[in-house]
Amino acid sequence: MNETPKPIAGTASYLDDRLGAGSFLKRNLRKVFPDHWSFLLGEIALYSFIILLLTGTFLTFWFKPSMQHVIYDGSYQPLVGVGMSEAYASTLHISFEVRGGLLIRQMHHWAALLFVAGMTVHMLRVFFTGAYRKPRELNWIIGVLLLTLALAEGLTGYSLPDDLLSGAGLRITEGVAISIPVVGTYITFFLFGGEYPGEDVISRFYSLHILLIPGILLALISAHMVLMWVQKHTQMPGPGRTEHNVVGAPFYPAFMAKAGAYFLFTFACIAGLGTFAQINPIWLFGPYTPADISAGSQPDWYMGFLEGALRLMPSWEINFLDHTVPLSVLIPALVPMGIIMTGLAVYPFAEQWITGDRREHHLADRPRNAPVRTAIGMSGVTFYGILWLMGANDWISAYFHIGLYETTIIGRFAIFIGPAIAYWVTYRICLGLQRRDQDILSHGVESGVIKRLPHGEYIEVHVPPAEDIAEHMRGKKEIPIVPGDEDKDGIPPKGVRGPIGKLRAKASKFYGTDHVPLDGHGHDGHDEHAAVGASDKPRELH
């Protein structure tokens, strides 16, 4: 093919005449996208969101967001004649009397689980490679907002069928909302249109779930994509890759096809789960009534950490001057979520303050090369993971025959000790991996070839690592340290004065000190590193 086919050329010029799309395409058709498998993880969330919009729209055609009491007379025998809300009855209708209804409903739910899971793994990738650094802090903040909104979207969504399981979640939501000091009762009465459960909450959650929150999500996701596009993607260190270029495949045709294939994979994965793995079988749960509860009631996975926090908490409550502050609800409902979300949001700025690093970064860090960050991250993951696990402590107790209280008590300790251990272990692993890199760069890799030297000695032949791997390793960047040493008059430099400044200087040294510089001499502190990154000659065996 030597020229654009007529129909395409015709349409293109029509559009260009009216929109001037040509110059945009000229700049962007061959936009380069770096290749690394982990760069695709965020797309799981993006494509899940698209599938959520499509399947969700399908569900709205039959779902009735009403708490009107009806007597079921549909085709699911064990519930015929049972009183329930119209929302629950219409969900049963979608499941059993609409062709493909059950499939789409299950796909919608699986897509929701993958949406948040995809966001989580994407966020971890961005965190551990330091891809949130300047100029991408704003996009990181958007990401944190997206994650928070996704939790709200999930909660409002799985509450809609008004079944006994999601109703328990709604009840807990109410219990948490009403515990908020001063305004708690008002918030609850406004949310539920009066006393719990009222007759409004399903239709209100429905508006939030299908209109307001997805609208904001859509806007933020678009902003997230535009910023990524404008700022160009980060890349892993490697041959020919610098802070000032981007190496990879062009958007058209290669990246487009890859992204398309990945969308289809996501779709296939969700369709496969919707076919072969039953999710949220509400007909087994029964209709909601505030009088009943099932053993083993859990929220969807992304709410599990909050559930776990509620279970771990001891029974603290303060009464004073005729008022009550139920700490046993407030602390677990707000503190872990606060630590995680606020921690994520401020991390880029805290890191900038500690390192004094205001440069742009487009080359991603390998997690081992920023050991403190990686260790903090793993410690956060452990904190989250323990809470998450404790959200299912009754199943753990029942299946592994551990006493129920013992799981709680172990969890109460683990939530403090676990993150500390995770920090230490990760830090040591990072340094170990750095040492291995250093070793490979200076001594080469074992080739498995044994050689006999002329004087009779046997040695194993070491060969230099492949160039690309070596380049990848040499991509290690020093982490800047704010100069904290006092000058000859005993006055510390600007920025590290006063108690907070001293703390900053200390933190900076701790954060940035490279214990395993690539030049192999180690433990020299920060000052001598300037030349490390540049030394790209393979070293001889010492």
Partner 1 sequence: MTENELPGPDDEARVPRRVIGTPAQGTAVLGTRPATAEVETPGVTLPDPADARKAERTVTLLFFIAFLAGIAFIASYVIFQVGDIDSTGVSNAALGGSLTVALLALSAGVVVWVRRIMPKYNIVQERHEMRSDGDTREYVGKTFVAGANESGFVKHKMMRRTLLLAAAPLGLAPLVLLKDLGPLPGTSLRHTVWKKGMKLVVEGTGQPILASDFDSPGGILSVVPEGYEHDLNALAKATLILIKFRPEDLKAGTIKNWTYDGIVAYSKICTHVGCPAALYEQTTHHILCPCHQSTFDATDGAKVIFGPAARPLPQLPIGVDGQGYLIAQADFDVPVGPSFWERGDAEADAREARGNQS
Partner 2 sequence: MIGTGISVNSITARRRRHPLARLAVVALALGLLGGGYAAAAPSDSTADAAVASGKADDVAEGKSLFVAHCASCHGLNAEGTSMAPPLVGVGAASVDFQVSSGRMPAADPAAQVPRKPLAEWVTPEAINQLAAYVQSLGGGPTRPTADMVDPSKGDPAKGGELFRANCIQCHNFVGAGGGLTYGKYAPNLNPATPEQIYEAMITGPQAMPVFNDSIITPEQKRDMIAYITQVRGQTDPGGFGLGRIGPVTEGLVAWIAGISFMSLAAIWITAKKRKRTSK
102 binds partner 2 (CB under 8 A): yes
Residues 365, 366, 367, 369: is their CA dihedral positive or negative?
negative
Cβ closest to partner 2, residue 176 vs residue 273: 273
Tell which one of 54, 121, 142, 334 touches partner 2 (CB under 8 A). 121
Shorter beta-carbon distance to partner 2: residue 467 or 524: 467
With CB under 5 to 8 Å by kind, the binding choice for 392 among partner 2, partner 1, none is partner 2
- Residue 65 Cα to chain centre, angstroms: 31
Among residues 146, 124, 142, which one has the least CA distance to residue 373?
124
| 106 touches partner 2 by CB under 8 A | yes
Pick 13 or 278: Cβ nearer partner 2: 278
CB 107 within 8 A of CB 274: yes
In 3D space, the residue among 221, 233, 41 whose CA is nearest the CA of residue 118 turns out to be 41
Strands 83-85 and 69-71: antiparallel
Distance from C-alpha of 207 to C-alpha of 213, rounded to nearest angstrom = 9
Q: Say whether residue 471 binds partner 2 (CB under 8 A).
A: no
Choose the contact partner of 44 out of partner 2, partner 1, none; CB within 5 to 8 A by kind: partner 2
Q: How far apart are CA 225 and CA 220, in angstroms?
A: 9
Nearest residue (CB) to partner 2, 179 versus 266:
266
x-or-dash pattern for partner 2, window 149-178, by CB under 8 A?
---------------xx-------------
Q: How far is the CB of 484 from partner 2 (least distance, A)?
A: 42
- Number of residues in contact with partner 2 under rule CB under 8 A: 69
Would you give the end-to-end CA distance of the chain in angstroms?
58
Query: Distance between CA 315 and CA 331 in Å, rounded?
Result: 11
Positions 340 through 399 that interact with partner 2 (CB under 8 A): 392, 394-395, 397-398
* Using rule CB under 8 A, residue 61 touches partner 2: no
Nearest distance from residue 422's CB to partner 2, in Å?
19
- The yes or no reply on residue 131 touching partner 2 (CB under 8 A) is no
For partner 2, the closer of residues 44 and 430 by Cβ is 44
**Which of partner 2, partner 1, none does residue 59 bind to, with CB < 5 to 8 Å depending on kind?**
none
DSSP letter at 211 equals I
Residue 118 interface partner, choices partner 1, partner 2, none, CB cut-off 5-8 Å depending on type: partner 2
Report the residue number, 243 or 536, with the smaller CB distance to partner 1.
Answer: 243
Q: Which does residue 208 touch among partner 1, partner 2, none (CB within 5 to 8 A, set by kind)?
A: none
CB of 133: closest distance to partner 1 in angstroms?
Answer: 12
Q: Which does 114 bind (CB under 5 to 8 A by kind): partner 2, partner 1, none?
A: partner 2
Vertex 502: Cα angle to 499 and 505 (nearest 5): 155
Cβ closest to partner 2, residue 191 vs residue 273: 273
What span, in angstroms and rounded, lies between the C-alpha atoms of 156 and 121? 23
The alpha helices in 367-478, defined as continuous H runs, are 371-390, 393-400, 404-443, 467-474
Token couple for 38: 């982990």
Among residues 161, 167, 197, 286, the one that binds partner 2 under rule CB under 8 A: 286
Cα–Cα–Cα angle for 462, 463, 468, rounded to 5 degrees? 140
Exactly one of 185, 294, 342, 447 binds partner 2 (CB under 8 A); which one? 294
And the tokens for 391? 């959200």
Q: Output the smallest distance, CB 292 to partner 2, in A.
A: 5
The SS3 assignment for 444 reads coil
Rg for the chain (alpha carbons), in Å? 28
Q: Side chain identity at 141, as an amino acid letter?
A: I
- 235: contact with partner 2 by CB under 8 A: no
20 binds, among partner 1, partner 2, none (CB under 5 to 8 A by kind): none
Give the integer Cα–Cα distance in Å for 314 and 409.
10
Greatest extent of the chain over all pairs of C-alpha atoms, in Å: 95
- Is there a contact between 131 and 68 (Cβ–Cβ < 8 Å)? no
Q: Is 300 in the site for partner 2 (CB under 8 A)?
A: yes
Q: Which residues bind partner 2 (CB under 8 A)?
A: 35-41, 44, 77-82, 95-96, 102, 106, 109-110, 113-114, 117-118, 121, 164-165, 258, 261-262, 265-266, 269-270, 273-281, 284-286, 289, 291-301, 304, 392, 394-395, 397-398, 401-405
